[in-house]
Amino acid sequence: MENSDEPAFNAPPATMYLVASLIVAHILLTVTSVDTVQWVYEALAFNVGQLTLVLENPSWLGVSAVFLTLNSHLFLHHDFMHLLINAFMLLAFGTMVERTYGIVRYLTMFLICGWVGALSEYIVSASDPATMLYGASGAVFGMMGVTTWILLPKLGMRKVIAFASVMMGLNLVIGLTPLGSMLAGEGATISWAAHLGGFLCGALLPLVLPRRHIWKSQSDHAAV
């Protein structure tokens, strides 16, 4: 067997730490009490009804609570399948974004896409104040949107548009049909709006955030 110093996952640091934080957060929730888990989701998931109340009666406390959930909901997941899908997609797309734009721009894009994903869900679910959103999918789809710009020089406009169309088409089919409920598991549905909002946000952010290439060697190009 040949020894190698190459890491098992050749992903940059911010992406690895983000994925690790998603996994650790979910594991901690699986080993705590049911009451604690319920409190965490009620307090840290993005709550449509909470945002409606804040918009109707603004206060610093309310705005702070909503801002907290815009970030914290990204680190909560329904089950291990939900977690693993987001983790692997983040490893794939987040790696390309971080290496191309650098850590600060990458994390900025990740959070903004997550916020836009949650607000997109609010737009379509405002009439149902009981709706709660959690999961990193909005931010992950945002990284996918950013990646379309990274792939554009290599694949060309036609293939990039085809890729984006297929992904968004699948997202709508899964999110708007009973298939979404089957895949999401008991008691949950897939938020097609958060996915779409995150993706569109990611596709637009490179227009305002400058691109910064930080590849330094051929080994840096290895895929996850």
In a domain, 1, yes or no: no
In a domain, 4, yes or no: no
Residues 151, 167 contacting (CB under 8 angstroms): no
Q: Helices (DSSP H) in 6-102: which residue ranges?
A: 13-30, 34-44, 48-56, 60-72, 80-89, 95-101
Q: Torsion angle of alpha carbons 113, 119, 125, 126, nearest 10°? A: 180
Say how far apart CA 144 and CA 169 lie, in whole Å: 14
Domain range for 98: 13-213
Burial of 182 (C-beta count, 10 Å sphere; 0-12/13-18/19+)? exposed
Please state, for a pLDDT cut of 90, what percent of the chain lies above it: 63
Of residues 36 and 222, more confidently modeled: 36
For residue 29, what is the domain's CATH number?
1.20.1540.10
Residues 113, 201 contacting (CB under 8 angstroms): yes
CB atoms inside a 10 Å sphere around CB 55: 13
Tell me the pTM. Answer: 0.84
Is 178 a residue whose pLDDT tops 80? no
Is 171 a residue whose pLDDT tops 80? no
Averaged pLDDT score across all residues of the chain:
84
Q: Which of 118, 120, 91, 67 is nearest to 10 (CA)?
A: 91
Of residues 186 and 25, more confidently modeled: 25
Place of tokens 């957060």: 25
| Per-residue model confidence as pLDDT tens digits over 77-102 | 988 888 998 999 999 999 999 999 99
In a domain, 189, yes or no: yes
The set of residues, in sequence order, having a beta carbon less than 8 Å from that of 103 and lying 6+ positions away, is 12, 13, 14
Angle between helices 103-125 and 192-204 (to 10 degrees): 140
In a domain, 223, yes or no: no
The count of structural domains within the chain is: 1
In a domain, 85, yes or no: yes
In a domain, 224, yes or no: no
In a domain, 25, yes or no: yes
In a domain, 220, yes or no: no
Say how far apart CA 140 and CA 146 lie, in whole Å: 10
